[in-house]
């Protein structure tokens, strides 16, 4: 499987969202949108309405990454109605209601994501892992850009791969947090399938189109190396 690119709009120029979308459509496998409610972590960022606006301008799938306490059916449905093709929820919040949420998401034709923070074991998802399409591993603590990459992420990726093989599953392993270009190859070698790229993409060049092209070039080199 080739390593996929998910530009994270937490780092985009929000005054030029349409231009950012157009610049990144040629390189993006999906777009990543952080929805942060000030309660799950002390930060606020983006909304389902932002996803609705993006969805009106692009056919690229959009991942709603919910850093939200008290997730309920109404929020899940709002994200679906806004055009999210993937809804990624915190394992430490949705455990008691996961099956209901997953059934709603799948019935709408969207994909189910769960994210694990760095201190949560991969086995946390075992009770419902068969329903997961995306397993997102945070490689920094949740909610803030610019943090140091946590090296134990590599072992966590390998464990997620082992579990997938043991259970004969197909979930995509997604990494989120300080995935800078020098980490592309070791993350892929550990077994990552997709990278959420904020500053690791947008900070590469003031011209977002050029930043995307540089990132795609590096990803293609990684994919070529993995194919050898």
Backbone angles phi, psi at 150, to 5 degrees: -95, 115
Alpha-carbon gap, residue 226 to 190, rounded angstroms: 11
Task: Order the strands of the 134-138 sheet from edge to edge.
Answer: 4-7, 194-197, 172-176, 134-138, 111-116, 86-90, 62-67, 31-37, 44-45
Q: Which of 34, 63, 133, 218 is catalytic?
A: 34
**Annotation says 37 is catalytic:** no
Q: Which residues pair with 142 in a beta bridge?
A: none
Task: State whether the Cα torsion 184-218-163-196 is positive or negative.
Answer: positive
The rounded distance, in Å, linking the Cα atoms of 157 and 137 is 8
- Decide if 108 contacts 80 (C-beta within 8 A): yes
Which residues make Cβ contacts (< 8 Å) with residue 224, sequence separation at least 6? none
Catalytic residue among 63, 133, 176, 218: 176
* 176 flagged as catalytic: yes
Q: Which positions are catalytic?
A: 34, 176
């Amino acid at each position: 499987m080739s390593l996929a690119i998910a530009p994270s709009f937490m780092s985009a120029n929000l005054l030029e969202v349409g231009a950012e979308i157009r610049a990144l459509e040629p390189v993006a496998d999906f777009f990543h949108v952080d929805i942060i409610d000030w309660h799950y972590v002390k930060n606020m960022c983006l909304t389902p309405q932002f996803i609705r606006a993006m969805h009106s301008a692009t056919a690229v799938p959009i991942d709603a990454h919910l850093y939200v306490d008290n997730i309920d059916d109404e929020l899940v449905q709002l994200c679906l109605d806004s055009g999210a093709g993937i809804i990624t929820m915190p394992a430490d919040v949705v455990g008691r209601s996961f099956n209901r949420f997953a059934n709603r998401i799948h019935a709408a034709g969207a994909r189910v994501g769960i994210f694990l923070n760095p201190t949560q074991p991969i086995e946390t998802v075992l009770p419902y892992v068969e329903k997961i399409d995306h397993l997102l591993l945070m490689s920094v603590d949740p909610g803030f850009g610019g943090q140091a990459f946590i090296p134990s992420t590599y072992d966590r990726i390998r464990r997620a791969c082992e579990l997938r093989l043991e259970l004969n599953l197909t979930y995509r392993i997604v990494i989120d947090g300080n995935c800078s270009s020098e980490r592309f190859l070791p993350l892929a070698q550990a077994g990552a399938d997709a990278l959420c790229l904020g500053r690791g993409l947008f900070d590469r060049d003031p011209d977002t189109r050029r930043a995307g092209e540089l990132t795609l070039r590096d990803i293609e080199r990684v994919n070529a190396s993995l194919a050898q």
